[in-house]
Structure 1
Amino acid sequence: MPSCAALRRLLAPLFLIIAVAGLTAAPPAGAQSVSGEAGSAASADPSPALTNLIEVLRDEAAREALIAELEALTPPEAAPDSAVLDVEQTLARRLADASALLVEETLSTARTVWRDLLGFGRIGETLSAEKLDAISEAWLPLLSTILSTVGLLWLLSRLASGVLARADSTPGGDTLRETLLAVARNAVLDAVVLGLAYAAGYVLAYSVFGSSGDILVEQSLYLNAFLVAGVVRLVLRAFVRPDRPEEAISHLSVPIQRVIYRRVKALSWLLVYGISVGVPLANAWLSLGAGRSVRVLAVTLAAMLALVSIRKVARLIEADGKAAAAQAPVDGSEAEQVVGAIGEASVQAATSAWNRIWPWLASIYVLAVWGVAVTRPRLMGEFVWGATLRTLVACALLVLAFRLLRHARRARAPLAGVVTRGLPALQSRLDVFAPAVVRLVALVLSVGAVALLVDAWTALDLGAWLSSATGAEILWRVASAALILALVVLTWAVVAAWIDQRLAQELDGPQVSARSRTLLALFRNAFTVAIFIFGLMIVLSQVGIDIAPLLAGAGVLGLAIGFGAQKLVQDIITGVFIQLENAINEGDVVTVAGITGAVEKLTIRSVGLRDMGGIYHIVPFSSVDTVSNFMRGFAYHVEVVGIAYAADIETAKAAMQEAFERLRAIPEHGEVIVGDLEMQGVIALSESSVDLRARIRTQPGKQWGVGRAYTELVKTVFDERGVEIPFPHRKLLIEREAD
């Protein structure tokens, strides 16, 4: 499916950039906890708080930053009443005001960033003897904790990779189920490795590297950031895994997975450790201005790295798409090749357009998040982080939806072994609907992802809509309609599979009569039409469509069909009475409308016959005046033999009786012969022979085989007894005139 592959390539950059922006928008948990700890410590001891306030007021950069934050907290002035305005603002005026506001905000952001970055130049002024003592006391335990946890994580990861390489000789990825199982297994193993490394680091920090048997705040900050970064890496490896690409949810090429994995991991380290560890340490060891400078530097570097990664991934995806298009196989018929070429051209056009658009959209998104992180960091936790997290979930749903589309053509219904043994045909019946069900699930996931994405950025309050009466009613109607449709399909599949099993009985198993086979086939057809029609009506009624006009229209349509398609009505009525009278069953040999053959298919309006020449005939019942069935009760083989006029008739009759006895001695034929030979004697004195006739009564359907064998034996016995079978001839007598 080249279209699904192209769609996955379209989705890959969006996943990368949303992940990058999510990391940029993430409020540091460690920073929040440290702020809480600092606040409680300040409330317990007011002297350090006063000292910090004095230091902030003395530091020019920190003082300006504090003033900017206080001004941001000041409520805006009330807008003048519209009644006071002389004239309504024009569109051009509004555009000019918006442009001026944009320029002003951009310049303000640039000044803020520049001012915060210049704060690094005044770090030496904020260092005091007390802070130098705190730094000298904490840096060695902190560095030891960092080295020990990183080393343990690397060692345990190598051991886990070795375990996977030895335990899994055939890594999965051919089916979606195998891929998801592999992803779940790897996630559990990564979680165990991360948990062991985190626990070991915490134990070492507490017992070995701690101060006086207690863990330092700096060590706690790092360990929390280590855990967060490990979780980000765990989630990332579920979607992209360059070392084992077949075990990743997104089946991108290895170069693209490698770039995404390395860049997102670098971003996670920069943001998580920079904001969760660097900012609190700068606040505690240096000053609040230094912490603000560290935060601005971290988010700025992350934004720059994200922008560079966007361009890199865009180039790789474009090159990968061109290579895939060049290597796409061309097979099938000429019509299929034309259709495939049109579809491929459409996909290529959409891919080309998307490849030109998405880098700009992603760059704008990253710059907007960077601006919020720099100027209004409080909005990160309230709005941007929550929206970005839901966007990540939406991207994950889209990736899963495209994976489902990729495997839709090979989807099979997951049935238990006991079910398939009881109804073998059920698997094939449900497999017909499995691709459609998978595509429907993919569509639902895509719609849910789009709705979640819209709700994430406050364009739609999805929660409020779902909790409303209208939303709940629509959701219930759609869910109940889907459930009813699933029950209809499942019921039809079970009934059809049971009928197929009854119609496909082996010769050594319990036999099904021809009458039962005919009625079962007709019931299957009628049941299929009835259950899908009534099921569709119930589904339409469940989703809120009034089916009363449909029923009335169906009645009118039925009358119109009854008058306009009288032959069709005659076919059906005749077929009903033929079935009621048990005139024709599947497997019978019949003569209808002048055609003799074996009945292969029987519907409510026609019969399908295969004649002796192998030609298949479909005869509508409206053309049937008489049904001649060769398979009812018993049958006769009628043998007519011509002997010469000079042959003895009694000798010929005895020879025919002997041939019958020999025939009955053959087990294959003797079992199907019913009664003795019925000798009827001379029936005609033909031009060149005396015709004798005899009948052999057999089981229905066996008369042709018995007749062929009997004719052969009659010829053999006649030759043995010297009974002549004459050739057709004519004797000419020439009379002489009398002298």
Structure 2
Amino acid sequence: MKVKAMKPSITHLSGINEMEGIQDKFNDIAKDPARELWTPLVDHVLIPAIQIALILFLTWLALRYLGQVIDRLLNLSRFQEKRGATLGRLIKSTTRYAIYFIAAIAILEKLEIPVTSILAGAGIVGLAVGFGAQNLVKDVISGFFIIFEGQMEVGDYVQINGDVMGTVEEIGLRVTKIREFNQRLHYFSNGEIARVTNYNRDQMRPLVAVTVPFETDQELVQKTLNEVNEDLGRRLAPFVIEPFSIYGITNIGKDGVEYTITAVVTPEEYWSTEREMRKSIIRAFNLKGIEIAYPHQIMKVSPETPTIFPGKGNPET
């Protein structure tokens, strides 16, 4: 009777091959232990670790000196000071995000993580998120046009949507920061900014109104205000675009006659000019004995009217 030889199975053959591979590996390590043990450690651990550390150092270095380089480039260009500050903030923010992204991609490559598949997946996710991120896209586009059209710049005193007034601290791709005089900081999404009132554009017109009683000598009032205008024109000459003048009698109210003086000055001196105008008017009126009107009432009592207070003229006394 013949005994039929059994053929080795595929699993058995693969196990034998693995054992032979392990044995060959041990033989190679025994022959050259330095090369077989240290080379993988150096190639796959030490060198990538050094490269990642170098990437992190270069990233830190770029972020540290990014602001100085951008400021120097803008100073060499012909941008105005405020526009340069605005563009500087925007460029710094955008460049910082770009540096983070490049550093992350480089580190993933050194860790032998498939960057291509990650970027492809991120693109699909970004496309899905993009449909729900319409407000973000609107904010970015609105921020671009705010800067491109020069509606406001860093350092400008503005009023947003007829509500919040303050100084522009930063204009970013998505949000704009406005700080009020009381130091409250407001964050506005660029897409929500519908109306900008800018108090720092070319020139401003201060208007100061003063009311005097009806019985005051109106000729004296006008003469005094003309003297005030001449004095203001001499003292504030560097900031005056159009001279100070009396706009005329702008109102006749229940308290008296209202006069308004006006001028056109540089926007930086608008607030201080109005304060100086008020102070000069009060000083001049005090010197000339002119009274500033205030609400008051005059009561006339008939002699026949009885009074509850005893005294002269009281029929009960």
Deviations along 1:169-211, one digit per CA (max 9) or x if unpaired, are xxxxxxxxxxxxxxxxxxxxxxxxxxxxxxxxxxxxxxxxxxx
Give the distance between the partners of 1:654 and 1:567, measured in 2 at CA.
59
- Work out the CA distance in 1 between the residues paired with 2:125 and 2:219: 72
CA distance in structure 2 between the aligned counterparts of 1:655 and 1:562, rounded to whole angstroms: 66
Distance in structure 1 (CA, Å) of the matches to 2:234 and 2:86 = 36
Distance 2:225 2:123 in 1: 66
2:13 equivalent in structure 1: none
Asked if 1:583 is matched to 2:155, the reply is no
Write out per-residue CA displacement over residues 582-609 of structure 1, whole angstroms, 9 at most, x where no aligned residue.
1121211111131001122332222222
Equivalence for 2:286: 719
Provide closer, same or farther for how the CA distance between residues 732 and 560 of structure 1 changes in structure 2, counting only shifts above 3 A: farther
Selected match of 1:702 from 269, 293, 296 = 269
Is residue 206–residue 265 contact of structure 2 (8 Å, CA) maintained in 1? yes
- Superposition map of 1:669-708 within 5 A: 669-708=236-275
CA distance 1:567–1:720, shift in 2 (3 Å): same
The alpha carbon displacement at 1:462 in A equals 4.8
What letter corresponds to residue 93 of structure 2 in structure 1?
A: N
5 Å matches for 1:441-590?
461-467=33-39, 472=43, 476-499=47-70, 513-590=81-158
Cα distance in structure 2, aligned partners of 1:664 and 1:682? 21
Larger Rg: 1
Listed as ranges, the gaps of 5+ residues in structure 1 are: 1-457, 504-510, 735-739
User: Which runs of structure 2 are paired with 1:539-688 in the superposition (5 Å)?
Assistant: 539-593=107-161, 594-666=163-235, 669-688=236-255
Q: Which residue of 2 aligns with 1:401?
A: none
Give me the TM-score of the superposition, normalised by structure 2.
Answer: 0.73
Q: Are the counterparts in 1 of residues 233 and 243 from structure 2 also a CA contact under 8 Å?
A: no
Q: How many residues align?
A: 269
TM-score normalised by structure 1 residue count: 0.33
Indicate conservation of the 8 Å contact 2:244/2:262, yes or no.
yes
Contact between 2:226 and 2:245, CA under 8 Å: does it hold in 1? Answer: no
Over aligned residues, Cα RMSD in angstroms? Answer: 3.2
Cα distance change on mapping 1:533 and 1:651 into 2, 3 Å: same
Shift of 1:716: 1.5
Show structure 2 runs of 5+ residues with no match: 1-29, 302-317
Alpha-carbon distance change, 612 to 495 in structure 1, aligned in 2, over 3 angstroms:
closer
Q: What code does the residue aligned with 1:577 have?
A: F
1:608-643 C-alpha deviation (Å, 9 max, x unpaired): 222233322222223221011101111121111112
Amino acid at match of 1:587: G
Give the partner amino acid of 2:96: T
CA contact (8 A) 1:600 1:610 kept: yes
Find the residue that maps to 1:675 and give its secondary structure. strand
Shift of 1:581: 1.2
Query: What is the CA-CA distance between 1:467 and the residue it aligns to?
Result: 4.2
- What is the SS of the residue equivalent to 1:674? strand
Q: Which residue of 1 aligns with 2:21?
A: none
Q: Which amino acid aligns with 2:198?
A: N
Q: Does the 8 Å contact 2:233/2:244 carry over to 1? A: no
| CA distance 1:651–1:600, shift in 2 (3 Å) | same
Task: From the two aligned structures, give the one with the greater strand fraction.
Answer: 2
- For 2:73 and 2:293, the matched residues in 1 are separated by 53
- The 2-side partners of 1:571 and 1:480 are apart by 38
Q: Against the structure 1 CA distance between its residues 462 and 619, is the aligned structure 2 distance closer, same or farther, given a 3 Å change threshold?
A: farther
Is the 2:241–2:265 Cα contact (8 Å) retained in structure 1?
yes
Q: Deviations over 1:154-177 (max 9, x none)?
A: xxxxxxxxxxxxxxxxxxxxxxxx
What fraction of aligned residue pairs are identical, expressed as a percent?
26
1:578 Cα deviation after fit: 0.9
Per the alignment, do residues 500 and 465 of structure 1 end up closer, same or farther by CA in structure 2, a change over 3 Å counting? farther
For 2:279, give the aligned amino acid.
E
